[in-house]
């Protein structure tokens, strides 16, 4: 079984404009049209059995609507292969109620994005969310490291993740982008001895750039095979989750990249799906 633990979709009516905006600020090209149908087509081509969709609330007022929609979409997960987590915003006044609803509705987890939400992960507003999510058995996925579209923002560095884990109650926390996008050395130094999981989203191979000359060739380089395998050895294959950040990485290309690594077959199977299956 192959599970992509980190994907995004947008409502059909705004998918094109949203991708145009995000592609413009990131200077990178998408691999799907950003719709649920586009993701399902990508999954079929890549042999992905299930995609976890991670919605992000950029303001507190969006949270309830997004979570209701996620729960409704999950009613068809057996048919679509798309399973949505919930979302939460650190400035939600009713954050506890929202988390309780997410758990009651069976959404399994929540996505937070400290950069888009403008709050440090080790801020007390996030710590209370992490603690309550852990009490409810919810998985928390957080953006980690630099955000390609907002490189000056710094809200979820590996040191902040380490402090958050130390201060919050026990929680299954997934640090996306291999623990810190473009901060992989710090992630290896600071997170290996914590219980944090990593996902592989938008962290392997190379960025797919727009043809606008924004990036120098050396800027396109992400984790290469040797460095990635070193992180697998350091963290253990059982703590690595396959993810793409679709539409920003190709699912087929990402599956093929993992399959070609010099890892044992059971390690590849764990990364590609078994670890995620256990969490879900």
- Give bridge partners of residue 86 from the DSSP assignment: 110
CB–CB of 122/167 below 8 Å?
yes
pLDDT (0 to 100) of residue 67: 99
List, for residues 147-192, the tens digit of each pLDDT value: 999 999 999 999 999 999 999 999 999 999 999 999 999 999 999 9
The long-range contacts involving 12-18, CB below 8 angstroms and separated by at least 24 positions, are 12/36, 12/37
Structure tokens belonging to residue 161: 């993740």
Binned at pLDDT 50, 70 and 90, residue 220 comes out as very high
List, for residues 226-239, the tens digit of each pLDDT value: 999 999 999 999 99
For the chain, the helix, strand and coil percentages under 3-state DSSP, each to the nearest 5: 45, 15, 40
Q: How many CB atoms lie within 10 A of CB 214?
A: 11
CA angle 182, 82, 75 (to 5 degrees): 140
List, for residues 38-70, the tens digit of each pLDDT value: 999 999 999 999 999 999 999 999 999 999 999
Backbone dihedral angles phi then psi of residue 252, each to the nearest 5 degrees = -65, -45
Please give the CATH architecture assigned to the domain spanning 3-279. Answer: Alpha-Beta Barrel (3.20)
- Give bridge partners of residue 206 from the DSSP assignment: 221
Distance CA 280, CA 273 (A): 10
Q: What mean pLDDT comes out for the span 200-208?
A: 98
> Which of 199, 276, 198 shows the shortest CA–CA distance to 245?
199
End-to-end CA distance of the chain: 13
DSSP single-letter state for residue 270:
I
Distance CA 256, CA 244 (A): 12
Distance CA 110, CA 145 (A): 18
Residue 141 CA, chain-centre distance (Å), reads: 6
């Amino acid at each position: 079984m192959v599970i992509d633990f980190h994907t995004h979709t947008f409502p059909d009516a705004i998918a094109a404009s949203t991708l145009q905006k995000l592609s413009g600020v990131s200077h990178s090209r998408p691999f799907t049209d950003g719709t649920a149908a586009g993701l399902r087509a990508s999954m079929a081509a890549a042999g992905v059995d299930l995609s976890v969709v991670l919605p992000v609330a950029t303001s507190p007022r969006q949270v309830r609507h997004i979570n209701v929609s996620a729960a409704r979409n999950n009613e068809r997960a057996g048919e679509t292969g798309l399973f949505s987590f919930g979302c939460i915003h650190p400035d939600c006044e009713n954050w506890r109620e929202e988390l309780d609803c997410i758990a009651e509705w069976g959404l399994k987890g929540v996505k937070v994005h400290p950069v888009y939400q403008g709050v440090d992960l080790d801020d007390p507003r996030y710590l209370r969310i992490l603690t309550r999510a852990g009490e409810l058995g919810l998985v928390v996925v957080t953006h980690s490291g630099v955000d390609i579209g907002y490189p000056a923002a710094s809200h979820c560095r590996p040191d902040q993740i380490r402090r958050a884990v130390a201060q919050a109650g026990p929680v299954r926390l997934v640090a996306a982008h291999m623990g810190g996008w473009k901060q992989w050395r710090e992630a290896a130094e600071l997170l290996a001895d914590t219980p944090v999981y990593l996902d592989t989203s938008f962290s392997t191979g190379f960025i797919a750039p727009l043809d606008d000359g924004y990036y120098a060739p050396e800027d396109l380089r992400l984790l290469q095979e040797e460095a990635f395998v070193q992180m697998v050895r350091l963290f253990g294959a059982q703590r690595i989750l396959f993810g793409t950040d679709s539409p920003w990485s190709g699912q087929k290309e990402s599956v093929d990249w993992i399959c070609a690594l010099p890892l044992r077959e059971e390690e590849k199977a764990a990364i590609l799906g078994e670890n995620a299956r256990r969490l879900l």
